[in-house]
Amino acid sequence: MARREKMIRIRELDKNIPKMSVDICNQMLTDLENAKRPVIEAVKCSLDNSNYDPKVGFLTPGDKKIRSELNVSSVQKMARTVFMLNILLNNIKSGAVNTKRELYYISKGFMKSDPFYKPLDFDDQPESDSVIDFICDMLEVYREEMNCFAGDRGGQTYSQHLLVTETLSDGTKANVDLSTLGTTPFQPKNKPQQFQLKKKGKIDFCLVVESEGTANTLVANGITKRHNCIVIGAQGVPSNGVRGWCKTIEDQLKVPMYFYGDLDAYTMQNIYRTLKAGSAASLIRNSDFSAPDVKFLGVLPEDVKKYDLHCYSVGEKDAAEARSLKKARDVLANDPFFKDKKNKDLAAILRWLVKEKKRCEQQAVFSVDPKNPRILEEIIVDKIKKGSYV
Amino acid sequence: MSRITTSSTAEYFAKNLQQVGFSSPLKAVLTTLKEAVDNSLDACEENGIAPELTVSIQKVGKGSTKSSDLIEIIVEDNGPGLELNDLAKVFGEYLASSKFGRGQCSRGQQGIGISAATTWAQLTNAAGVRVTSKTKKMRKAILADIDVDIKANKGIIKKKETVDWDKPHGLKVEFRIDGRVQLNGDGGLITYLDGTTLVNPHLSLNYKLLDSDWVHVGRVSEEVPKVPPPTLPHPHTMKLGEFMTHAGLYGKITLDKFLKKGFSRISEQTINDMKKHGLKKDYLSRPLTSIKETEYKTIFQAIQETELSNPTTRSVLTVGEEGLAKSIQRLGEIDFFSVNTRKPRICDHKPVVVEVAIARFLNLVDTEEAAQLLRFANRVPLQFDKAACAITKAVESVNWRSYGLTQPKNSMPLGPYVFAVAVTSPFIKFKNASKETIDASDELVEEIRRALMQAGQRLSRHIRAEDRAADLERKIQHIEKFAPILVHGLAEIVSAPKKREKAAEEGLKKILGRDADDAEDKLKEAEGQLKILKAKQRKKLGIGEEAVEEDEDGGDEVSEVVVAKGTKKKTATKKAATKKAVKKTTAKAAAKKVAKTTAKKSARSKK
């Protein structure tokens, strides 16, 4: 049991989750016995309850709480919460671990086979995911501390200089030398905090690329052979696995980390900001799931000019693009991360995007010299050398 | 080089009958019926007669062409009848019309339709039309067989005799044509007759289609609409050529007098403004006959540059909200509906009025089907080529979801609704000679949209009131479903003894009882408001028998009508409505149910 707990531990937790849960449920039951409406409270995970302190480096929760009292609109959510909490507590008790998807199907099994639970049935996985997230926000614990892991995507990692040691559930250790994998990536999956990392020689930088395909192309063209680096493919919006993995690299290896992605509002707000400072939806877990020192390497507005990169205009007519622009304006006005002085250069990029209504893909750099397959690598390395990042 | 020849108008149309609605056997039957009915209604209205029409459509044999039937179409009216001299012109000559270009909201305009029907009969059955006519002055009626002389564009009376007819006056036309009959759907005869009934509250109609029984649709208004007289043309609605032709009608008078007499919206003041825009002063005193073509052009340009008031909207005719409200009940069993008649507006320099009726029918139960759209131009149903029509575009552009209807994006809303949109104008711009599609100019589409949105707002009051009732009931059932699971889950987590679980269930029941009481109060309030609204509408339109309650909020001008069910004609081809589409259960019953089932469910033993 103790070994299992150690395996999934992400931080030193001074909370007794089963006891806290029983106390909450006990209070609810007592309220019902007294014909009083029971209440549950959780941290409000939204932008209006987010604080940003540049010294801390990530978004932290404010004082606002979501308070649900038993009534017509909350009864379903409350019943689902108690139902899922019961499953999670049983998992903690037995030491079982499940992914969010597995929990969705386990719940559906109960709901489909037992008419009593049928009203709780989930239409799709996001419904059950949100119940799990709510429980974590209510207890102010990580999902992993509830023995639940997301089946995370992204994080494909390439390096000639990185050794990863993983402690398995039976106590044995697995050692992975990334230099032996060729162009096959190492993928941290969903428990990156478990890894012990070691440098094999010197590592100059870690490059996180928005597109996994582009990360792979860089590696296939030999970036990891020519430079002492780690290359990671984020695969779009970084999952918890990617966020935790970057945090682990930053903490254990202390190498400069750079992010390279599209020059557009979506990348800036949803991908880069989440990697660097976490997200408003995961306020209580940002401390272990963000890499505050990661720099924005590009594509920068100045690169567009310098390399004459192909851009295209973002139309207000396209619903998705219009939404993205609107969100960029909102973010500039309301997001404490972009409002902070320390990030004024990042906010300036957003402002440029809103004003110019343009976007530039990360792959536009390949067209700078179509005859040179290493052009992206050369420009990236040059930018790092010259300090051309934000 | 080949010889250049000219051909008659009749020759042109005989070769291009598809342009005027005879493009298929199916459309031929509908167009023939439509032309005959349009002429009858126009004739009755012009003479102040409340129209009484009898329509019969029968299959009488095999058609001359493959896969067509020989169809007999008979339309009989109580109109003024026609003199013998006019019969050949009306039924056998193209562009012979009393209505051409006169700027009135009549159904027929050019004098093409009925002659085209005669031509179709002639081409497919080797015989034109048989007409029986009797005017007030005649003692006996005239029966004549009329053909079109296609080479000469003249009507020929092939057979003529006098017959006894017990009507004081009227006209009966009989066509035998190649065609096929479709009753329902967009191009169906019943859809056409329903549409015609809707926008003509003063029409009394008897019809028999194929083997079905005779159907009688009584009139709901005794008032025969007076088609407003045409007004003088507005110079901004003309082209230079039309302006010069118009001047030709006025002979030797001076330009000054011509402008004031020959047009609307031109006064001494506007003529002064024209001078500022380049109209030479000496032109005004010159007789029209002395003005050269190039000079006409400069005069015309000055007029176009000058700002004038919009054309008058007096020439526009409306069915009216009351007429529509009463008339729509003749189409089927109605749950509720909303009508809206806009004020006449100027669209594309032409006066136009848009009227909308939206009704939810009890006999159309399939809520997944798109709502039916009835389009009208000058009170004539439009049944083909709906996609490009201004009316269709306007309906699809409205966000009906905000009024409580289900609607896929940019499409017709779904549900058991009928949308009727009527555009009336002395100058409707059609896309084709068969008058099936109204040109979708931005201004007109916007005007129709506004009318629809107003009607939608009125409709939404009913839908919202219903939704509120259904919503409250849903909420009560919601608690009933989830509460026992909640108690059971909590008891399991804290390992509570049975006694505690039971006590919690009792406490929960008390809480639910309070919720149910609240829900019941709110529902009662919503139902009460709707009842007042319905009663007020009945009072306003004099429909229904229930006692009218005093309206507490007063002064709210609403034009939708909710009618007591069962005012529908007997239609053999339509299914009788048996169930109300939305069944309401009261919150009280639901509340009782809650208490019962909660007790039952919570009695479940622990797993």
Residues A109 and A38 in one domain: yes
List own/partner pairs for B379-382 with CB under 8 A and 24 or more apart.
Answer: B379/B41, B379/B105, B379/B107, B379/B196, B379/B199, B379/B200, B379/B319, B379/B422, B379/B424, B380/B34, B380/B38, B380/B107, B380/B196, B380/B435, B381/B34, B381/B191, B381/B192, B381/B195, B381/B196, B381/B199, B382/B435, B382/B436, B382/B437, B382/B438
Cis geometry, peptide bond prior to residue B129 (ω within 30 degrees of 0): no
Per-residue pLDDT, B489: 94
Are residues A258 and A359 part of one domain?
yes
The answer to which of A43-57, B242-256, B333-347 has the lowest mean pLDDT is B333-347
- pLDDT, residue B155, reads 82
- Measured CA to CA in angstroms, residue A48 lies from A266, A323, B97, B253, B492 at distances of 20, 19, 73, 79, 36
**DSSP states along A155-223:** -EEEESSEEEEEE-TTS-EEEEEGGGSTTSPB--TT-GGG-EEEESS---EEEEES-HHHHHHHHHTTH
Structural domain including B492 reads 481-602
Out of A127, A149, A171, a domain closes at A149
**Residues of chain A neighbouring B490 (CB-CB closer than 8 A):** 25, 28-29, 32, 82
Q: Which ipTM did the prediction report?
A: 0.84
List, for residues B415-426, the tens digit of each pLDDT value: 888 888 989 887
What is the model's pLDDT at position A44?
94
Residue B570 has pLDDT above 50, yes or no: no
What's residue B78's pLDDT?
93
pLDDT of residue B574: 35
Contact residues of A toward B, CB < 8 A = 21-22, 25-26, 28-29, 31-37, 70-73, 75-76, 78-79, 82-83, 85-86, 89, 114, 116-117, 119-120
Chain B residues inside the 8 Å CB shell of A120: 482, 485
The answer to whether B603 contacts chain A (CB < 8 Å) is no
Instruction: Looking at the structure, tell me whether residues B166 and B252 fall in a common domain.
Output: no
Across chain A, which has 390 residues, the per-10-residue mean pLDDT values are 49 86 96 93 93 94 92 86 96 90 94 92 92 94 88 88 88 92 87 88 95 94 95 93 94 96 91 95 91 94 92 78 84 92 94 90 90 92 94
Best-predicted range by mean pLDDT (A286-290, B15-19, B64-68): A286-290
CB contact under 8 A, B482 and A79: yes
Same domain, B169 and B297: no
SS3 percent helix, strand, coil of chain A, rounded to 5, is 50, 15, 30
Residues B140, B242, single domain; the answer is: no
Probe site for chain A from B409, B485, B594 (most A CB atoms < 10 A): B485
Domain end residue (candidates: B305, B324, B346) = B305
With a cut of 90, say whether residue B248 has pLDDT above it: no
From A31, A89, A119, residue closest to B485, measured CB to CB: A119
Distance, CA of A146 to CA of B586 (rounded, Å)? 44
> Tokens 């007999």 belong to which residue?
B72
Does residue B322 lie within any of the structural domains? no
In this complex, do A32 and B475 lie within 8 Å of one another by their Cβ atoms? no
- The verdict on a CB contact (< 8 Å) between B487 and A29 is yes
**B587 CA: distance to closest CA in chain A (Å):** 14
Q: At what angle do helices B442-493 and A17-33 cross, to 10 degrees?
A: 100
Question: Which CATH number does the domain housing residue A135 bear?
Answer: 1.10.10.10
Question: Residue B487: its chain A contacts at CB < 8 A?
Answer: 29, 32
Least confident of A43-47, B134-138, B196-200: B196-200
User: Distance (Å, rounded) from C-alpha B397 to C-alpha B475?
Assistant: 33
| Whether residue A72 is found in the same domain as residue A181 | no
Last residue of a domain, one of B305, B332, B351: B305
Which of B263, B278, B305 is a domain's end point?
B305
Residues A285, A262 share a domain: yes
CB-based contact (8 Å) between B487 and chain A?
yes
| Average pLDDT of the residues in B19-45 | 86
pLDDT tops 80 at residue B452: yes
Minimum-distance CB partner of A35 among B491, B507, B601: B507
Select the residue from B471, B475, B476, B494 to test the A interface by mutation, using most A Cβ atoms within 10 A.
B494
Share of chain B above pLDDT 70, in %: 78
Cβ separation of B482 and A119 shorter than 8 Å? yes
For residue B301, being part of any structural domain is answered with: yes
**Chain B nearest C-alpha distance from A250 (Å):** 40
Residues A121 and A167 in one domain: no
Strand partners, A197: A164
- Asked if A55 and A104 sit in the same domain, the reply is yes
The residue out of A98, A126, A149 marking a domain boundary is A149
Question: Does residue B65 register a pLDDT over 80?
Answer: yes
The answer to whether residue B169 scores a pLDDT higher than 80 is yes
Closest CA of chain A from B504, distance in Å: 4
The yes-or-no verdict on residue B219 having pLDDT over 70 is yes
**What is the distance in angstroms between the Cα of A328 and the nearest Cα belonging to chain B?**
27
| pLDDT band, very low/low/confident/very high, at B563 (cuts 50, 70, 90) | very low
What pLDDT, on the 0 to 100 scale, is given for residue B433?
Answer: 65
SS3 B438: strand
DSSP state of A232: E
The pLDDT-based confidence of B434 (bands split at 50, 70, 90) is: low
Round to the nearest angstrom and report the end-to-end CA distance of chain A.
46
Q: Is residue B53 part of a domain?
A: yes
- Partners of residue B507 in chain A, C-beta under 8 Å: 31-36
User: CB distance from B549 to chain A under 8 Å?
Assistant: no
Confirm whether B269 is domain-assigned.
yes
Residue B457 lies in a domain: no
pLDDT at residue B316 greater than cutoff 90:
no
In chain B, which residues have their Cβ closer than 8 Å to the Cβ of A117? 485
Looking at the structure, tell me whether residues B20 and B135 fall in a common domain: yes
CATH code of B50's domain: 3.30.565.10
Average pLDDT over residues B416-437: 82
Q: What is the reported pLDDT for B365?
A: 62
pLDDT tier, B591 (very low <50, low <70, confident <90, very high otherwise): very low
Stretch (H or E) spanning B91: helix B84-92
pLDDT of residue B553: 36
- Residues of chain A positioned with their CB less than 8 A from the CB of B506: 33, 35
Closest approach of B24 to chain A, Cα-based (Å): 42
* pLDDT over 50 (residue B170): yes
Q: Which residues of B touch A40 (CB under 8 A)?
A: none
**Are A33 and A99 members of one domain?**
yes
The pLDDT tens digits for B269-296 are: 889 999 888 888 888 889 888 888 888 9
> Which residue from B minimizes the CA distance to A89?
B493
- CATH number of the domain at A222, please: 3.40.1360.10
Q: Based on the fold, state whether residues B165 and B251 are members of the same structural domain.
A: no
What is the pLDDT at residue B540? 55
Per the domain annotation, does B470 fall within a domain? no
Q: Within this chain, do residues B151 and B272 fall inside the same structural domain, yes or no?
A: no
Looking at the structure, do residues B129 and B252 belong to the same domain, yes or no? no
B493: nearest CB among A37, A86, A116: A86
Rounded to 5 degrees, what angle do the CA atoms B218, B224, B229 make? 150
Whether residue B587 sits in one domain with residue B494: yes
Within 8 A of A32 by CB-CB distance, chain B residues are 487, 490, 503-505, 507-508, 511
pLDDT digits (tens, 9 = 90+) for B489-500: 999 999 999 999
Residues A128 and A183 in one domain: no
Please tell me the distance in Å from A361's CA to the nearest CA on chain B.
31
Q: Taking CB atoms and an 8 Å limit, are A72 and B476 in contact across chains?
A: yes
**Residue A280 Cα, gap to closest chain B Cα (Å):** 30
Residues B13 and B85 in one domain: yes
Chain A with chain B: Cβ pairs closer than 8 A: 86
Q: How far is B415 from B359, CA to CA, in rounded Å?
A: 11
Residue-range definition of the domain harbouring residue A343? 156-386
Structural domain tally of chain A?
2
Is the domain of A192 the same as that of A136? no
The reply to whether B149 and B241 lie within a common domain is: no
Residues A169 and A287 in one domain: yes
Work out how many domains chain B is built from and give that number. 3
Q: CB–CB of B406/B413 below 8 Å?
A: yes
pLDDT in tens, B2-15: 677 766 677 776 77
The answer for B 505-524 residues in CB contact with A (under 8 A) is 505-508, 510-511, 515, 519
Name the residue of chain B whose CA is nearest to A30's CA: B504
In angstroms, what CA-CA distances link B517 with B268, B467, B480, B508, B586? 73, 19, 14, 14, 12
DSSP letter assigned to residue B4: P
Asked if the Cβ–Cβ distance from B485 to A89 is below 8 Å, we say no
Give B 417-476 residues with CB within 8 A of chain A.
Answer: 475-476
Residue A93 token pair: 């008790």
Residue A134 and residue A215 in one domain: no
> Of A149, A173, A195, which residue is a domain's last?
A149
Q: Determine, yes or no, domain membership for B340.
A: no
Chain B hits for A119, Cβ within 8 Å? 481-482, 485
Backbone φ and ψ for A209, nearest 5 degrees, come out as -105, 135
Higher pLDDT, A14 or B474: A14
Contacting residues of B for A72, CB less than 8 Å apart? 475-476, 478-479, 515, 519
Alpha-carbon distance B605 to B607, whole Å?
6
Shared domain check, B144 and B264: no
Task: Verify that A308 and A332 share a domain, yes or no.
Answer: yes
Q: Do B500 and A29 touch (CB under 8 A)?
A: yes
Q: What is the mean pLDDT of chain B?
A: 78
Give residue A171's pLDDT: 82
| Chain B positions in Cβ-Cβ contact with residue A82 (cut-off 8 Å) | 485-486, 489-490, 493
Cα angle value B144/B93/B173 (rounded, 5°):
35
Q: Which of A21, A22, A83 sits opposite B485 (nearest CB)?
A: A83
Looking at the fold, whether B28 and B174 belong to one and the same domain comes out as yes
Question: Can you give the pLDDT at residue A175?
Answer: 94
Distance of CA A104 to the CA centre of its chain: 21
Question: Pick from A22, A31, A117: which is nearest to B493 by CB?
Answer: A22
Residue B271 lies in a domain: yes
pLDDT given for residue A8 in this prediction: 52
CB contact under 8 A, B487 and A21: no
